[in-house]
Structures are given as structure tokens and as C-alpha cells.
Structure 1
Amino acid sequence: MNTIGLNCLAKKGSLILLLFVSVSIGAQKTVTDTLLEGRMTRYDYEGAANTARTRLRITNLSIHEKLYYTNRLSMAKFRLMHLEESMALAMQALKLSKQATDSALIVNAWKVAAYSYNYTGKLDSALVYSEKIMMYGKRHGDIRATRDAMCSVATILAQNKRFEEALKYYRDVEKLSIKMRDVSYYPSNEYNLGLMYLELEKYDSCVVRLKKAAVLARKRNNLDLLSLVYGVLSDCYMHTNNKTEWKRNRMLSFELSRKIGNMRYLAMDYCAFLDFELRNKNYKEALMYGRKAIEILKKTPYPVLNIRLDSMMYMASKGAGLYADALAYHESFVNRRKAVDSEKEKGMLHEQMVKYNVMEKDHTIELQKAQIAQNRKIVIISIIARALAIIIVIVAIKYSLRTRKFRRELYLKEKAIDAQMKEMQDWVEWKQNKETESETDTSGKESEPLTQEKGTPRSAQISLYNELHELFNTKKLHLNPDLDIEAVIKVLGTNKKYLYHAISENSEDNFRNFINRYRVNDAKEIIEQKIMDKASFNISDIYTQTGFNSSVTFYRAFKSVTGLTPKEYSIEFTKDREEKRIKNIYT
């Protein structure tokens, strides 16, 4: 196997460390331990393991409590690279999950099983539990479970060198993490994507992603991840032949691995040094680093890293002329590779991929259906809104037309009343002229007084009413804003009773309305004259010329008498005048 191709094989396996940075704490509503979770969050896995182990010694724990602490202990041991203990605890958790009813705890048991199987190279079993988690996430709409299952599948794809497909899964994992706003997952997302870009030889993208991962890991004090990031960055710089950056980042990784006491990471660093010396054909130095890695892996075996190490030790032994050792490493490499790349595993992986693609298509169809339904709803609402708008417009037009018609009728009625009053004034003038021409009866017989009782003849009432009109027409008493009935009866030589009676019997007005009609008539004449003279005018100023005390009183009286406002009256008069002008043109 090509040494460069194997260079990051162990890194792909190290993704398992980052698959699920923490057990889904938020999902565990019934059982949780603040102290334990705090230590896991701070990467104090030794302390977390001690806490979980102490809790498990309590004799009266419920099934759910036992399952919770077993899950967390398995995870802590896994992070400490105590793989045999982690696997044994994962198996215990699976047994306990059969008696449990808390779905969140059961899913977490599947997760720790997937970690252990994936890390130890038993990818067929890892796929089984990844599929369980995936189906659970789909059934219950659990985004976290779906994300974790996808990350597990992506790791298995990467170990099978299906890097493009793994990259697609990791991108989907990143989207779900952003959607969940799970910042704890951001560093590992960047790391996983950077690793896939390295395998696809997209070195610029690899460096960008890994530098982001380093910043985020350092900020969260995640030294385990930071060590991995420096290691992969050094591999990337090796491919670009930047030896300075390769050495700097590799030493950073090596120092961090020693600081945190992670033996597996140290083995990976020794393998990287072996690879470097092998490239430079320094076979003795390469074999020295390789033997150090072998000693570590005897205590903490890691199948993927063992495969890589066998391949490089074969090449180093052959280069050093140790052919017997080279043959032994070659046989070990073949046997280990067969164990990992089983046909059963490949078939299951293909089946899982097909299922995920079907799920993705179903989800797309559901989104399309929802979008169609939403669009249909929008169309219906739009149609209803337009229909309502049309109805409102129609009603508004009808109302406007009806209002215009009503105003027109009021205007014509008002002009008819004006005509009647004009006829009456003409009749009064004619009568006065007639009386002046006739001879006056001078026999000393006095005329009938105006102040008569209610039973006074009708002619006396009409005479008093006509005198009132004549007085207002000639003297313009209504132009006095302070005019009252006392001033009127004094001029007429009558009293209130007879004057009120004469007005009520000969019109539908009272004394105040009688005065207002004269004032309104004068206002109408001013408006009409201004329009005919094409002169500008302010209707609010007219009240001062017609005997009103205020514009409010003027508008109220004008509306009461004519049924129109001054502005409406001016509009109708202008329209009437224009119609007559057009009519005269055509006649």
C-alpha cells in the first residue's frame, strides 16, 4: 500500500474520538449528573470515570440510572483510550437498554457501542448501531441523533476510502450543527472536513479548515482535538513539501500528546516521524520510530493505525535489507487489512448508503410538498385578498356614485327652494306696488292691528310673515351677528308670540333657522359670484361676511340648511354651470 495514502488512515480512525463529543445531555431529561457532565465538558475524563464508577456502586439505582452511568463511564474510558474497558461497558449498556424505557438513554447506549465497534475496526457492527440511531432520528425528528449517525457513517466511508461521499456527509453534519447552534461540535466539524480535503488533495481548503479547527479547539481548551489538528496540518504541509511547517506542527502535536498522556496520539506521531524518515530513505531512523509505535500499540491496539504501521515497517525493513522482517510485516498487513475490509462490511455500508439516500429523497419530497401546499395557500390568500379588494373598490365606487347623486339631489332641491323664495319676494314687491297705486281709504277706519290672538285671520299671519321677509331683504338685519328677536319685533311693531306663530304657520323653520337661511343664502350668492368671476376664495372666510360668529357655526348652519357643506355646494354649482354651458353650446 502507498505510504502517503496510508499516512492519514489513522487520522480517519481518530475521527471516532470526535463523532459525538458528548453524550446527548439535553436529551436526558430523566437522568443526569451535573458533576459528571461538568467533568466531561472540561475533558476531565479520569475524573468523570471515577464519578460514574462511584455512582454505580450505589445498590438501589434504577435501571435508567444504571444505564446512564454505564453509558458515561464507557464514553470516559473510550476518551482515555481504554478500549477494552470501553467495549465491555458498551456491551453492558446494550443489555441494560433492553430493560429501559427512556429512549434517549437507549440511543446513547447505541452510540457508545458504535464508538467502540468503529474504533476497534469492527465496522459492520458499527454500521448496525449507526443505522439504529439514524432510524430513531428520522422517526422522532431528533436532529442530534441524525447528525451523530451521519457522522458515524461518514467515518466508516472515510475508512473505506470513499472520501467524496464522506465529505458530503460531513458537510451535512456541519449544516445540522449550525442549525442546532451546537458550538461544541464546530471544532470537530472543521477538523473532519479538513481531513477529507487532505485525502482529496485539496490542500488549500484543508489548511483553511484545520486552522479554524485549531482556533476553536484552543478556545475550548480541547487539547485532544488540538493535537489531532496539528498532526493533520503537518501531513498537509508534507504533501506541499513545506518541511518547516511540517516539523513545527508535528512537534506541536507530539508535545501535546505527551502532555495529555494520550498514548495512541503518541503512536500516531511516531508513525508520522517514521513516514518522514522513510521518504528521506533514512531506514534505520524510520525503523527506530516504528518500533516505538509498535510498543505503544501492543498496549493500546488500534487496527487502522496497525495497518498503516505494518505497511511502512515493511517498506523500511525492505529498504534496510531486512527481508525476513519485511515479509513478516507484509503478511501482518494483509491479514489486518482483510479483517477490516470484509465483504459483509462493504455490503452493509452500501445498504446504509442506499437507505440514507432514500431518506434524503423522502425528506426532499416532503419539503417540496410542504412548499407546494404553502404556495397554494399563498395563492388562495392572494385570490381572496384581490376579491376583497375588488369588492371594496366596487362598494367604494357605488358609495361615491350614490353620494354624488345624493349631493346633486340636495343641490337641485336647494335651487328649487331658492326659486320659490324668489317668486315669493317678487309677489311681495308686486303687492306693495299695487297697494301704493290704489287709493287709500281715509274714512278714519283703522287697519287691523298686527298683534292679534291665535284666532287671527290667516291673512294677518301671511302679512306679518311677508313683512318679516321684506325687512330682511331690505334692511339686511341678518348680517348683524348679535341680532336677536327683540330687535326684530321692535322694528315690526309686534310681539314674540305673533312673530313665532307667523313663522311656524308659514314655514318649517323657527326664528333661528329663519335667520340662518338668509345668512346661508348670502353665503351661497358669494360662493356663486366668486366662481363666476373665477376668483379665488377661502370658504372659511365667508362666515364673517354673512353674519356668523364663527366658522364652526357657519359650517353647521350651512349643512343644516342645504344638506351640503360649503365646499360640496361650490363643487355642485361649478358642475351645474359647466353642464349648462355645454348644453348652450350644442343648442
Structure 2
Amino acid sequence: MNTSNKLTLLMTLFALLLASKASAQNNTSRQDSLRIDSIAVNAHKTGLAFYKSGVYYQALDNYLLALSLQKDLNNTGAMFRLYEDICNAYFYINDYLMMKQYASEAVEYAQETNMIMPEAGFSLHVADASKNAKDSLAAETAYAHAYTLFQQIGDTMQMATVFNNKASLYGIDSPKKLASFQAAAHLLEVPPVDKKKQERLYHIYANIGDWYENQGDYQEANRYFQKSIEMAQATGNPRIEIFLYSHLAENYLKRGDLNRAKQLSLQTVALIDKHIGPNHTFDVALKVLGKVYEAEGNYRAAYNSLQKWSAVNDSLQKRNRQTEINKIEQRYKYESYRQDKLNEQNLELERKKASITNLRITLVGLITACILLIIIGTLIYLYSRKLKMKNRELYLQIKNQDFLVSKVEEKELTILASQPDTESSKSAKLYLSLKELMESEQLFKQTDINRKKIATLLGTNEKYLYDAVRENTDCSFNEYINRLRIRYARQLLTSEENLTIDEIAFLSGFGSKVTFYRNFREHYKLSPSEYRRLAIEEIVEKTN
């Protein structure tokens, strides 16, 4: 398998590994999302239970935990529901700055997600919170923004709510207050006037009546009070009537209209006895009735009414005290549980985050390793290619050198044959004799061949033989023998493919494989195996 195939195989294996890791990550991420969503839903449900019980601080703890988890999941619907519940909880504990903070956060998120309805609703929350926090300028701006959005949606009820809530920004005698109430009423009076509009209108009419009463315009006040009563009766909700009659009875008492105050008080008490019973919270009518009886001189009836009012008040106070005690007790018991739960959930989240971080680090490491392998593989491929080209050039140079050497030797033989017998020609002829002997007998293949044996065979002495070799080859006798052996080894490398390198080394006259490798590489700058590979490639190319 060549280098490029190995590189392709490595890259394929790493691609499969990365795909497997990515699939495992997706499955783990999906399971983690489901678990986090389950935790968030349970926290929200627990918060709603606390909220209904009046334990608003515990409710907020659960809401905020659920919100942080839903943010991680980017669950838009659940986030808006939680923002709504958080704003309501902060409203009931009178923390208007925190209510404004979370309402503003919800407005920003609604703008990011391009959802007009939630933006409008939470803009109204921002306005109400700013108003209660005594920030009139911010409230004005938020009310205007909310009204514009509700107008785009076409929600008449909410537009009227904006005007009604905005009215409390102004002083009790301010014309702006009256204008806001009247604008709200005008929006709700447009047919059809359904039950929801009636429930809203009775309250707005009563507010308008209060405004006229504060101005001393009792005729206009009575007109709106009567409209308020009619609208309350139209709702069919006795609690609304009770609340309204109690409020109006107290107003008429302050005004000195004892008959009207008594009438409304009696109506209120009758509705309470009919629909609610003795355990009620509407105690204002009893107080008003007692004051009316006192003004009429009916002290027994006044005493009975005030006694009943006092009993209701005492019951309410006792109940309120017990409610506060229960809240603190619940807070005390739940605090340790909540903290343990939060710590457990935080640890779980940290573990998941750490797992995700480790997975990311692993993926980055794998990608980096893959890139490094690709770079290293590319460098190895380029180096291998360059080395092959260089060896190819060396092989061609060797072939060309062989051709030139053969031509030179032929020319030298011709010249030497024609020269007269002189000292220099004797040396050359001795060299030629040596060459012929080596070609015919191939004595160089003998590992124990030496200069003395060859000199004896040529009928000369060692010194003459050494000088003849030195003068005609510019190398020593041993170097000359090694050249013959290397040249013969080259022939075997090309022609005898079945022979191993070790066998060729010994057949060529080398005493060891190491000596053969060293001499071959020094002479040709190539290893024997590389030379054989190039020679075989050349033969294949010529065959094709």
C-alpha cells in the first residue's frame, strides 16, 4: 500500500470517528434538553402552587429557576408565561423595581423574536411598575408604547386598560385623570358590550363618579354611580355588586346623603347574607350602616351593626395574622429544601456543562489531530514524491554514465593497441590484461581474492599491478575490485528478480550485506533495493 492510499485510509477512519462522535453528541444533547425541560416544568408548577397559597417568595424562587432553564432551551412560549407569573408575584409583594426589570427583559425578548402581543402586554407591565415606583415619566412613555401596540393588534379591551391604569398617574382633581377614564369608557362602550366589558365599565364609571364627587358635582357623580350600578347588575356577579355598593354607600355617607347610604348598605348586607354568608371580607357596608343608624338615633341598630362589623374585623385580623405566620413558617421550612434542590440542580447543570465542554474539547482535539495528520501526510507524500524524482534522476545518471564509460573504454583499447612498447604503454597493457582476466574469469566474485593472486596469474609483481591500476583508473586495487563487484551486483539486481539482496551481495563477492550496502550507496547514492525498484519500473514502462 503506497503512501497516498494510507493517507486516504487514515482520513476515512477519522471521518467515521467524527461522525460517530457527532451522533453521540446529538443524542446526549437531546436527552439533556428533555431532562432540563422536565426540571423547568416541575419548578414552574411548584411555583404556581406556592403562588396560589400566597407564598410569593417561594413562588418566585421556582419561577426564576424555571426561567433560567427555559432560556437555555430557548423555549419562547414557556419563557413568556414565566415572565408573566414573575411580574405578578413581584406586584403582590410590592417590589415594583424588580417587576419593571423582568417586564423590560420580556419586552426586549419579544422585540428580538418579533412578537407584538407579548411586547404590548409586558410594556403595560413596565408602565404599571414604573407608576407604582413613582417614575411618572417612564410610566407615560411605557403606556404610550403599549397603547400603540394594542392599537396595531386591534385589542380594544387592552387599549381601555391602558387609559384606565394611566389615570392613576394624575392627581385627584386633574382633568387628565377624568380624560383618561372617559377615553377608556368610550372604547368599551362600542357595541357589542359583552360581560368582560361590563365588568370593566362598572369600575371605570365608579371612578368617573368619584372624580365628579371630589369636584362637588354631585349630580354628575350620581349619574355615573347609577351607570356603574346598572353595569354591575348586568354582570350578574354578586361580588362586584357588593364591592360597588359598599364603596358608594361610604361615599354617600361622607356626602351626608343618609337615605342613599342606608339603601346601598342594606342592599350590600342582603347580598352578603345571600351569596357569601357570615365569613366574608366586605365589612365596609356594616360600618356605614352603623353610622347611618347612629345619625338617625337608632342606637340599638347602630350597636348591632357595629358589633357585627367589629366581629368581622376581628376575624379578618386573626386570619391575616395566621396567614402571615403560615407564610413565615412555610418560608422557614422550604428554605433549606429549596437551597438543597438548587444546589443539586446547579451541580447537575455544571456537570452537563462540563460534559459538553469536554466533548467540545475532544472534538476540537480530533479535528486538530485530523488536520495535523493531513498536513503530515501531505508533507510525507510530497517528500516521498520528491525523493522518488531525485532517485529517478540518479538512476538515469547511472545509466548515462555506464554508456559514457563503455565508449571511453573502447576508445582507450583502440589507442593502446596502436601504441609502441613503452613504459607507459606497458602499464596500460597490464591493466588491459587485468581487465580481460576479470571479464573472462570474474575473479572479483571470490571474497578472498587479493592482489598477490592476480599478480601471479598475470605474470607480474604486486607493485607493477598496483601502479597499472592506479595510473589507468585513479583508484586503488581494492577500490577497483569493489567497482567490479558493484557493477556485477547491478546486473543481478536488474536481471535476477528471484535473488534476495543478501544473496546478490555474496554472489558479487562481498563478505557481508553491510559492506555491500555501504559500497553501493557510496558509489551510486542509492540503496540496492531502490535501484532494483527503479530498474523494474523502467522495464515495465518499456514493456507497456
Task: Name which structure has the greater RCO, CA cutoff 8 Å, separation 6+.
Answer: 1
TM-score, structure 2 normalization: 0.43
| More helix by percentage | 2
Q: Name which one, 1 or 2, has greater alpha-carbon Rg.
A: 2
